[in-house]
Every structure is written in structure tokens, then in C-alpha cells.
Amino acid sequence: MKRIADVSCAFALVAALSCTSTYLIAAETVRPATRPNILLIYSDDHGWADLGLQGVDQDIRTPHLDQLVQDGVRFTRGYVTAPQCVPSRAGVITGRYQQRFGVEDNTKGPLPLGELTIAERLKSAGYISGWVGKSHLDISSQRGVDKNSRIQLDHLPHHQGFEEYFRGEMRDYYASHGLDGKPFLDAPKLVHDTRFRVEVQTEAALSFLDRRAANPRQPWFLYLAWYAPHVPLESPEPWFSQTPATLPKERRQALAMIAAMDDGLGRIRSKLKAMGVDQNTLIFFIGDNGAPLKEGAWNGSLNLPLIGEKGMLTDGGVRVPFVAAWPGTIPAGQVYEHPVSSLDVAATAVALGDHPQDANLDGVNLIPYLTDENNDTPHGALFWRWRSQAAVLEFPWKLIQLGEHERYLFNVSTPEGELKNLLTDHADIATRLEAKLQTWSESLKPPGPPEPNNDQDNMFFAAHVDKTIAKATKRREGSAVSKTDLAAQGWLCRNGTLAVKNSTMILTPAANSKANQRLFVTNAQLDLPGPVTAVLKVRGLQVADSSANITWRTKAESFAPHQSTTFDWPTNEEWQEVRVTLSETSRIIHIRIHPPRDASSIQIQSVELHGKDGEPCTFRFDTK
């Protein structure tokens, strides 16, 4: 390779010295000048659209990120391993599918100490590593040693290979050094800083670089995890005042927070140039997952034109801003269109540290693919499993499994992409991909398919995928949309089937439903000021338990336990009207109607929803 010298002898010497010498002595003694520094930047809930050179939204301004793209490569299909922060971060920092060691979602932390991080892998090659910003890989479902949070102090960065750290999200940071560069003798020390988080985290990164200037021959790895534009949204100056006043406040705040990160990148790159290491530093900039939108409490960022949001295995949840630059080594101005993964960061770092590739790593070294040394595609397939969702991407085909019953097959290379389910059109492809996904799933911890059901996942797909597919079908085929789809007026059935006959919506539970898979009908296209009165005209049921309930969500909360009310379903066979009050003061955007569990067939003639303003939202089911 033209950018990596032969370092086999040097590496052998480093390995021999590592057991008896500090990393400083080893690095000073043997480090070749060509071994690069590595900077990994991870933004938070940063939508695919919000990188200027994506060319999606004219309001986004990211000049320093755009310059990074021009100096390196923009990956148009850069993916992360999960649509949520903890598993995504566990994947990128270890280079392994996080499901292999049980960190599948935000509730499955902390990161096991037995898993090797990039920092631990690079240490024997003489690297010193730093961590700045968000972690959440030290978060557990139990209260932590500090008794005020779920942070597990024995999982802080210095327990996983990072000699220096400034770990924190908002105002409080566990730190090895102060921002003035001086080490804390009683580290980890809790540092409180009330300034805007991105500014503090940028200063911590610059402080780490200042300390590297004292030993310029030692290579370093820095993981910078800016906590933006994740909620809570802020309006930092001077950036907020520079956003268009005509935009929604959330959008302006997101733009301001992204601009603060962009300026921070500019300061960091200026520092690298002043240190004389700008051409000996490989930089990755990656978002940790897609932005949350209406269904997930919008943070002001955008995923356009992708379908879905944070919490979904559609591209809107896992395809992110993804950039790499290494001036003088990676040819500048590239647009790379083959799928790549956040897992590739660790594999690339290990290769640049002149380690042999570890079979436990799931990524690939990207450098040969970016320097014309390898013209193949980096990945035959990428895989996901998260909550009740699983997916495999074998470009251009993407298969998504939702729970036990739903399947989607998309050709993501077409303009329609995830707007058109091709499952029945290409059953052979779907069968092959299902087999591949199943084989991969058996290698995980625990092995097997995803959860059989998850209410929030159902809600996401009802709002984004099913609704979008129906609209796209209507555009393509005019009135060819099925009468049932039109008559259902946005209502969808989960864990069963829906039909409309004789002006009645008929729900039938799935024959093989399990005890925890209760049938319900859902509508995610609402916007009603609470409290809301629901008036249902239903036919009575002959059931042992007539208990039914309605649940709802608002923009701020997602089906919290208090967002539910119980009522009795009529038990005779006549049509009857039932009135149910949803005691919610905020605007309701999504409701679910859960009939009695033991009912074999449920009939609903109409649904009226009366908001606080008195304007009813009426649904009458008619196929005419």
C-alpha cells in the first residue's frame, strides 16, 4: 500500500516491549512516522439529511463538514449497527456486532469489560487513547456506584483502554484531566461545567490534542462523542441567531447545535494542521443513528429522503452521515456508493496499527477500497437485530422482519426504495435472504429471531412504512388501491387481520398468536388536543372477560403507562355506543384500541374522536 510503510519489525519490537515498558517509551522508541493518528467523531441523533453536501435541505450549513468531505470521501450508504445509541456505540467502539455480546438495546448495558475496544486493540501498537463526550456504555439498568445515576464507575473509559477521558453529556463529566490539561491526581474527578455541551466537549478534545504536542512521535486515538443534536434541545449562540427565523423552533435549535459541532470540527482541524499532523490523521465522522421524527419526539433533525426514523431498521433509522478523510492518502473528493458499516472503523484502525486482522471483528479495513487497491464491494451483506426487528442488506435488496408475522422486501437502489414492498414479486430473493438472516441470528447472544412483538416498533411501522406504502401504491395505481385499504381510513390491525364489509371494520386475531400478542387496531395519523372523548359504535361480544382499553401517545411521550384507559366492551349482540374519555392534556397523535383478549371476531361500525376544541374526527367504514 502506498500509505502504510512496512512496519513488521517495528511492531514485533513494540509487542516485545509492551510487557515491560510503558506505552510512552515503546512509542518513542519504535513508532514509524507513517503510523497515523485516528480521530473518530460520533454525533447523536443526527439525521442523514443534515450534512450540507448531501444536498437535501438548503437550510443546513456545515462548511467544515463539507470541507472534510471534499478532502476525503462521503459514503452515501454508510450504516450503523442499531437505530439506538447504546447498541450503536457498542458496535463502533468494539468493531463487533453488539448482539454477539448481548448489548442489543439501551436496556442491555453496560458494555462488558471483556470486550476489546479500539483503544485496547491499539495500545500494544504504542497508541495513547482519549475519550470525550457521551458514553452510555457504562450505563446499567441498576443504580450506579455514584448512587445518583445508573453510571457504573467500574465501566468508565479508563477501564476499557482509554488513558485520558472527559466523559459526560450535559453538565457533569468524569475526567482524568482538566480543560487546562493538568491531570487530576484523584481521577476520575467529577467536573461540573454549565456552558453549552458541544463547546465544552470541543475544548476537551482540543485539550487532549494539546497534550499530544508534547510527544509528537506517539500515535493517538481519540473518540469524540458530541451530544448533539440529541434532546434536550438548546438554542446556543451565536449559532441560533444565524438560523432562519421562519423555521420551527426545533429545527432552528437542531441547526444551531449542528453548526456548533461543525465549528468544533473546524477548530480541531486547525489544531491538527498547527501540530503538523493533519496529513497523518485519519478522521471518521459518523452519526450514531437516524433522527427521531414525529413518532419519536422530533429533535429538529431530518432524515429526508429516507423512510423512517430512530428506532427503525429502515434506512431512516440506520443510514447516517458518514465521512472519512486522510489527506494525502485517501484521494480527495470521493463519493463512495457501496454500503459500509460503522464496524469498519475498528477493522481499519487495527490494520493501520499493523495488527493482523482478528476473526472476531465484523468489519473490514476500508483503506484498500478507497485507494483503488481493491475494487470489490466491502460487504457481501450487513445485518441487524433490534427489539422486534431484524434485517439483512444484500445490496440492492433489503429484507426487514417485524415481529413474527410482518416481512418487507425492498430494492433500495430504486427511487421507490422503501416505498414499495416487493415480497410477493420476488419471493425467491426473500426466501434466500431470510435463510441468510436466520444463519446470522443463530450466532448471536441470545441466538434466534427478534422479539415476537413490540408495541413501539409496531407503531413506527404503522406510521412510516405501511402508511407510506399505501400512499405510494395509490400514486402508482390510482384507484387500484384495495377497497379495504381505502375504507379503513388509516386504521391498521396488529396481531390479526382487518377487513371492511357492509360498512363495518372486522378484526380477526391471528390464529397462532401467543398470549402476549394481543390484537389491536391503531391509527397514527391524528392530531387532537386533549382531553379526547372516543365514541365507538361496536357490536357486543360473548366473552368471559369484557375488559378492553384504549392507549395513546403524544409528541412528548410514547405510550407511557398512564396513557391508558380501561372500559367494558358490550356483551350482547346488538350494536351499541361506547364513550371513553382519554384524560390527556397534551395533543394526542396516535391511539390504539385493544378489544377483549378472548374475542374471536371484533366489529366496529364507526369511531368518533372529540378533542378539546370540539371538532370531531369521524371514521365511518364504507367500501362504496
Q: Give the model's confidence band at 15: pLDDT under 50 very low, under 70 low, under 90 confident, else very high.
A: very low
N- to C-terminal Cα separation, the chain: 69
Q: Which residue type does 516 have? A: N
SS3 content of the chain, % helix, strand, coil (to 5): 30, 25, 50
CA nearest neighbour of 537 among 605, 491, 622, 602: 605
Q: Give the model's confidence band at 485: pLDDT under 50 very low, under 70 low, under 90 confident, else very high.
A: low
Separation CA 502–CA 27 (nearest Å): 79
Predicted pLDDT of residue 616 = 76
Q: Give the model's confidence band at 609: pLDDT under 50 very low, under 70 low, under 90 confident, else very high.
A: very high
- What is the percentage of the chain residues whose pLDDT exceeds 70? 89
**pLDDT digits over 514-563, tens only?**
656 788 988 887 888 889 999 999 987 878 888 999 999 887 777 788 89
**pLDDT digits over 302-342, tens only?**
999 999 999 999 999 999 999 999 999 999 999 999 999 99
Q: What is the mean pLDDT of residues 146-165?
A: 87
Q: What is the mean pLDDT of residues 96-109?
A: 95
**Domains of the chain: residue spans and CATH:** 8-300+308-379 (3.40.720.10), 384-472 (3.30.1120), 483-620 (2.60.120.260)
Count Cα neighbours of 445 within 13 Å in the Cβ-side half-sphere: 10
Q: What is the mean pLDDT of residues 119-128?
A: 95
Q: Give the model's confidence band at 601: pLDDT under 50 very low, under 70 low, under 90 confident, else very high.
A: confident
Average pLDDT, the chain: 88
Residue 23 or residue 605, greater confidence: 605
Predicted pLDDT of residue 17 = 34
Q: Give the model's confidence band at 10: pLDDT under 50 very low, under 70 low, under 90 confident, else very high.
A: very low
Residue 617 or residue 331, greater confidence: 331
Residue 13 has pLDDT above 50, yes or no: no
Place of cell 474527578: 189
**Crossing angle, helix 85-94 and helix 344-352, to 10 degrees?**
20
Element spanning 222, H or E: strand 220-225
Kindly report which listed range (60-69, 266-275, 614-623) carries the lowest average pLDDT score. Answer: 614-623
CA angle 203, 209, 213 (to 5 degrees): 140
Residue 501 or residue 41, greater confidence: 41
Query: DSSP E strands: which ranges in 159-212?
Result: 164-167, 172-175, 189-192
Predicted pLDDT of residue 471 = 61
**pLDDT digits over 65-84, tens only?**
999 999 999 999 999 999 99
**pLDDT digits over 269-312, tens only?**
999 999 999 999 999 999 999 999 978 889 999 999 999 999 99
Separation CA 409–CA 401 (nearest Å): 9
- Rg (alpha carbons) of the chain, rounded to whole number: 26
Separation CA 613–CA 229 (nearest Å): 34
Which pTM value belongs to this model?
0.76
Separation CA 301–CA 292 (nearest Å): 8
Residue 21 has pLDDT above 70, yes or no: no
Kindly report which listed range (5-9, 117-121, 512-516, 560-564) carries the lowest average pLDDT score. Answer: 5-9
Q: What is the mean pLDDT of residues 43-57?
A: 96
Q: Give the model's confidence band at 184: pLDDT under 50 very low, under 70 low, under 90 confident, else very high.
A: very high
CB 3 within 8 A of CB 328: yes
Q: Give the model's confidence band at 441: pLDDT under 50 very low, under 70 low, under 90 confident, else very high.
A: very high
Predicted pLDDT of residue 527 = 82
**pLDDT digits over 253-269, tens only?**
999 999 999 999 999 99
Q: What is the mean pLDDT of residues 585-606?
A: 88
Predicted pLDDT of residue 597 = 86
CA angle 290, 457, 233 (to 5 degrees): 40
Q: Which residue type does 273 have? A: K
